[in-house]
Amino acid sequence: MMESMSEEQPEKRSRRAAAKPPRTMSATTTRRALIAVAVGAVVAAVATIAIAGGFNSGENLRPSDNGQRSAATGDSAFAQAEAGDCLNWTPSDDPQQDRQDVAIVECGSEHRFEVVAPLDLANYPGAEFGPGARYPGALRFASLRDEHCVAAVDSYLGSGFDPYGKFSIGLMFPSEAAWGEGDRAMRCGLQYSSTAGTLLPFTGRVADQDQSNIWEPGTCIGINQNVPSDPVDCAEPHAYEVISVVDLSTQFPGALPSVEDQDRYLEGVCTQASNEYLGSADALRDKTLTLFWDNVDVESWLAGSRRVNCSVGKELDTGGFATVTGTARGDILINGQPPVPPPPVPEGRSLPTPLPGAPAPGN
């Protein structure tokens, strides 16, 4: 049975990939729970990103003035891209300029999209995609992605896709202007998105790498309305800081361990990592931070994912995270205020107050 630490002890939690409410447990050992508000919001954010596929800005696949694709434009590279090709471009904050230099690059170099399958809606009869058809919009593009790209990814990776891993399934589609001129060419692919949806560069083909959703130790994950966002400098406000990456295969070389077995192992490993990272066994408690870790689910395990993060942050009683400023290795502010260490834990074992009429301990 898993239980919670008392308020005087540093808190330790695990985070699951699915959104479940925290459990209510009694004191003495570790409490394993999910921060429901934060994770639920993150799941919603990732779903929104996947709907857009990161490519729904107004002019992302703009044709040349005469409506024909030119060999000198990024559109030409996109039109030639086939399964296994990797695409890259220069990101821009201006949606009118973003993705205007799409190019096919070597997958061993940095890129932002790995093509899984071409998709041309012109091959589908019916008024919905025919000449003069109305632009589908984000929700319809989401259903098209689910209808065509999910199966394409499974086929491309041989069912080795981790749905909770670092990569997401994306759909690259025409701008509204290009659609109006008859462009129906799309590409299903894999992309690496931050929590808030920024497409991050990666190297190598997805099939050749560990898909574990991890960050390098020392990475701080930003915060937006108590919900984790993109990585930021630790001097900036953030939700939590990654302190260690643990490879579960060293302890569990065979079948997927149960969540309880993972927690028992990770409690010790992450606690040791926290003591080393923060500099002492008392630092976590004195800074009133929460130690938590991820679990690996069966879908991730079957896809080959074995590594998880140990992290520290400050959980709110109402769900989500408090805002931490500064690296946990040094002085920090929590919601703009220095943390106040709790009273020292009395030496020796504390005894519970006996129930009325019960004999005193030791009698």
Q: Tell me, what's the pLDDT at 193?
A: 85
Percent pLDDT > 70 in the chain is 72
- In this prediction the pTM is 0.73
Q: For residues 270 and 276, what is the distance between their CA atoms, to the nearest angstrom?
A: 10
Cβ-contact 282, 339 below 8 angstroms: no
What's the mean pLDDT when you consider all of the chain?
A: 78
Tens of pLDDT, residue by residue over 100-149, are 788 999 999 999 999 999 999 988 878 889 888 999 988 999 999 999 99
Quick one: pLDDT band at residue 363, thresholds 50, 70, 90? Answer: low
Tens of pLDDT, residue by residue over 35-64, are 323 333 333 333 333 333 334 332 333 222
Quick one: pLDDT band at residue 177, thresholds 50, 70, 90? Answer: confident
Lowest average pLDDT, out of 195-199, 202-206, 214-218, goes to 195-199
3-state secondary structure labels for all residues of 159-227 = CCCCCCCCEEEEEECCCHHHHHCCCCEEEEEEEEECCCCCEECECCCHHHCCCCCCCCCCCEEEEECCE
Q: For residues 99 and 259, what is the distance between their CA atoms, to the nearest angstrom?
A: 42
Tokens 């030496």 locate to 347
Tokens 């985070």 locate to 15
Q: To 5 degrees, how large is the angle CA 67–CA 89–CA 177?
A: 30
